[in-house]
């Protein structure tokens, strides 16, 4: 059962993306079509008895610095930096000011993409971040000396169409990207050369792959697509990361394109954001033996927004808290309560 | 030696503006010329062609359009057939210089406009719920101008009422549009204009699927995928140049 905790009218126009701050203060960031990113303070969600309005808006970033919609936000693992990716081709890095915790300064503007940047993601190790865009490039950037300088570590142009999302593996510095060309590709840093190379390409979807997410162990990947299905991929070769294969396809539940998927690292629930205004929660059916693994069942579905849902993210620490945003410009925070 | 001789001494105005060559935006000019040309023949110096020019379709009361039937053609370059007569050679030569890419389809087939909607008694009732049906969606998009010709999408039969389905319960609208020729380069722009017009006119609860009528375009799968990708559409609409072109298609022209 998904209960609405709070709904905030964060953006004029569409809300494109939400991200929870991984460590430090409990903050939530959202980005939208109105060229701003909103940062909310969500400390009060930790309380067992929730106040009526636990989420408060701290600040809005990006006003005046981006000329087009901000498509994606990503917090750094330490929580002090935030990246914004925009349709104007730039990625901006903002740092929390030491004097005033609620203010942020733009530390650098990362230019490199030739057209719209669709997603940005920070590696859990904090060493790299990746961005991808309509120019079919996946660019990996490394940060030097306390995040003062940003250097391009690699550019991969392996997709044949625009790249929709980049997601890092939860434990290693491995990157996965998904694209309009219906494939998912993975990359690692070949430590001998220092070059990034593509290790594997997963195909199976019939249409644009919009989102991907790893499970808590990093052994499995879920992907959601415009072809109305979710696919679960598993690493078949345990030794190296080179072979992944599709072990399950979840079809028949979604009626329109699935824009985002999030795999809860704590309890294994999968949440999906769909173009039919619903958020769906899936759970893996407990398997008796090896053959019956990777079966997923739909637990719950709810009309979450008055228009398409664009992004869902589980809270990294609080087990059952979910944030979502959609075309109606609202950012909503939900609490999942097990039915049984 | 003049390249053509016009028996009818159609003077018509010489006033085709230079910047409208290939764009056909001066409708009053055409109205005059077409009036004078109806049922007349065009005699060219070394060719003998009889072409029946249809009665003008740009009248206020739309009359039925007669099909264009060339009776005898001897290797006539298409440009000459479709451009209006000029009263001097230099203007004619300017027409000749237009590259084929400026307009893909120089001779679009024209269709009549639908009748005005019949107002029923239930529609006049203030308290009755007015459901959005295919006719209403058709009325919203019928007057979108084609980017190349001075005609609406309805007149070119790009949009037909029976290719629109509206489901009020599921809030779903499906539209199939038919580009005039299978290699129409404007198909994506037409699809985008339809999407923008509906976005601006319909309540936001509707999900709109716009696709090319199956079998009517060479790259329909690729174009349909682009039109269905809302992120690409949203990013494209932030491009100021593109939105200007789309707005031009969507504005009503004054006659």
Cβ of B127 under 8 Å from any chain A Cβ? Answer: no
**B84 pLDDT more than 90:** no
Q: pLDDT by residue (tens digit) across B58-76?
A: 443 443 433 343 334 344 4
Among A87, A118, A275, whose Cβ lies nearest the Cβ of B238? A87
Taking residues B124-129, report their average pLDDT: 72
Q: What are phi and psi of B201, to 5 degrees?
A: -110, -25
Residue B145 pLDDT more than 80?
yes
Residues (pLDDT < 50) of chain A are: none
Give yes or no for residue B125 having a pLDDT over 80.
no
**Nearest CB to A180: which of B204, B207, B229?**
B229
Q: For A34-83, how does the pLDDT look when each residue is reduced to its tens digit (9 = 90+)? A: 999 999 998 888 887 777 788 888 888 888 889 999 999 999 998 889 99
Domains and CATH numbers, chain A: 2-336 (2.130.10.10)
pLDDT of residue B224: 94
Higher local confidence (pLDDT), B97 or A276: A276
Residue A340: its pLDDT value, please?
58
Burial of A217 (0-12, 13-18, 19+ CB in 10 A): exposed
Q: Which residues of A touch B203 (CB under 8 A)?
A: none
Contact state of A328 with B204 under an 8 Å Cβ cutoff:
yes
What is the rounded radius of gyration, in angstroms, for the C-alpha atoms of chain B? Answer: 21
* B234–A308 CB contact, under 8 Å: no
Cβ–Cβ contact B109 with A under 8 A: no
Q: Does the pLDDT of residue B253 top 50, yes or no?
A: yes
The stretch B9-27 carries a mean pLDDT of: 43
pTM for this prediction: 0.78
Residue A331 CB neighbours (<10 A) = 27
State residue B41's pLDDT score: 40
pLDDT value for B104: 65
- On the question of pLDDT at B96 being above 60, the answer is no
- Asked if pLDDT for residue B129 goes beyond 80, the answer is no
Nearest CA-CA distance, residue B119 and chain A, Å = 32
Does the CB of B225 have a partner CB in chain A at under 8 Å? yes
Confidence class of residue B175 from pLDDT cuts 50, 70 and 90? very high
Q: Does residue A254 sit at the B interface (CB-CB below 8 Å)?
A: no
* pLDDT band of B5, cuts 50, 70, 90: very low
> Given 3-state DSSP classes, what are the helix, strand and coil percentages for chain A, each rounded to the nearest 5?
0, 55, 45
- Quote the pLDDT of residue B28: 57
Nearest CA in chain A to B204: A307
Task: State residue A204's pLDDT score.
Answer: 93
Taking the CB of residue A239, how many other CB atoms lie within 10 A of it? 7
Q: Which of B225, B228, B235 lies at the smallest CB-CB distance from A87?
A: B235
Q: B196-225 pLDDT, tens per residue? A: 999 999 988 899 999 999 999 999 999 999
Instruction: Provide, as residue numbers in chain B, all residues whose Cβ is less than 8 Å from the Cβ of A209.
Output: none
CA B28 to chain centre: 17
Q: List phi, psi (to 5°) of A248.
A: -155, 150
pLDDT score recorded for residue B33: 58
Q: Is the pLDDT of residue B77 over 50?
A: no
Contact A208 B235 (CB under 8 A): no
């Amino acid at each position: 059962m998904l209960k609405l905790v709070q709904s905030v009218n964060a953006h004029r126009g569409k809300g494109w993306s939400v991200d929870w701050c991984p460590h430090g203060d409990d903050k939530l960031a959202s980005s939208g079509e109105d060229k701003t990113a909103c940062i909310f303070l969500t400390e009060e969600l930790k309380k067992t008895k929730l106040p009526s309005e636990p989420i408060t808006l701290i600040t809005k970033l990006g006003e005046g610095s981006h000329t087009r919609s901000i498509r994606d936000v990503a917090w750094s693992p330490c929580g002090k930096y935030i990246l914004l990716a925009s349709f104007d081709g730039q990625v901006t890095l903002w740092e929390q000011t030491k004097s005033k915790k609620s203010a942020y300064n733009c530390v650098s503007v990362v230019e490199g993409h030739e057209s719209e940047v669709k997603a940005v993601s920070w590696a859990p190790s904090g060493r790299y971040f990746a961005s991808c865009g309509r120019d079919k490039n996946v660019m990996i950037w490394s940060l030097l000396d306390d995040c003062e300088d940003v250097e391009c570590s690699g550019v991969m142009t392996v997709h044949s169409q625009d790249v929709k999302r980049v997601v890092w593996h939860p434990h290693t510095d491995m990157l996965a990207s998904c694209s309009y060309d219906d494939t998912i590709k993975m990359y690692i840093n070949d430590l001998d050369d220092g070059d990034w190379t593509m290790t594997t390409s997963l195909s199976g979807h019939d249409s644009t792959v919009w989102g991907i997410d790893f499970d808590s162990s990093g052994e499995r990947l879920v992907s959601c697509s415009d072809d109305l299905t979710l696919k679960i991929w598993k690493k078949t070769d345990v030794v190296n990361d080179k072979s992944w294969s599709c072990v399950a396809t979840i079809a028949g539940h979604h009626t329109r394109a699935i824009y985002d998927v999030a795999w809860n690292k704590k309890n294994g629930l999968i949440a999906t954001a769909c173009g039919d205004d619903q958020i769906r929660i899936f759970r893996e059916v407990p398997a008796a033996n090896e053959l019956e693994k990777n079966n997923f069942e739909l637990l719950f579905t709810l009309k979450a927004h008055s228009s398409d849902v664009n992004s869902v993210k589980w809270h990294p620490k609080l087990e059952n808290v979910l944030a979502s945003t959609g075309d109606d410009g609202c950012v909503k925070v939900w609490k999942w309560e097990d039915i049984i | 030696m003049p390249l053509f001789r016009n028996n009818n001494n159609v003077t018509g105005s010489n006033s085709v503006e230079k910047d409208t060559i290939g764009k056909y935006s001066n409708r009053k000019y055409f109205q005059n010329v077409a009036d004078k040309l109806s049922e007349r023949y065009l005699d060219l110096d070394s060719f003998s062609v009889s072409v029946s020019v249809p009665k003008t379709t740009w009248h206020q009361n739309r009359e039925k359009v007669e099909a264009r039937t060339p009776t005898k053609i001897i290797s006539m370059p298409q440009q000459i057939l479709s451009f209006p007569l000029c009263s001097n050679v230099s203007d004619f030569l300017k027409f000749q210089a237009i590259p084929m890419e400026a307009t893909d389809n120089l001779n679009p087939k024209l269709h009549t406009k639908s009748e005005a909607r019949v107002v029923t008694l239930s529609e006049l009732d203030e308290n009755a719920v007015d459901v959005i049906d295919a006719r209403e969606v058709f009325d919203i998009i019928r007057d979108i101008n084609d980017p190349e010709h001075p005609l609406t999408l309805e007149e070119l039969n790009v949009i037909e009422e029976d290719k629109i389905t509206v489901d009020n319960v599921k809030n779903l609208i499906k539209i199939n549009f038919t580009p005039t020729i299978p290699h129409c380069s404007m198909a994506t722009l037409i699809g985008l204009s339809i999407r923008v017009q509906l976005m601006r006119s319909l309540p936001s609860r509707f999900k709109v699927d716009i696709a090319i009528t199956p079998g009517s375009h060479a790259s329909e799968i690729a174009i349909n995928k682009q039109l269905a990708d809302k992120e690409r559409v949203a990013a494209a609409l932030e491009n100021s140049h593109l939105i200007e072109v789309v707005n031009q298609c969507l504005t009503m022209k004054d006659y």
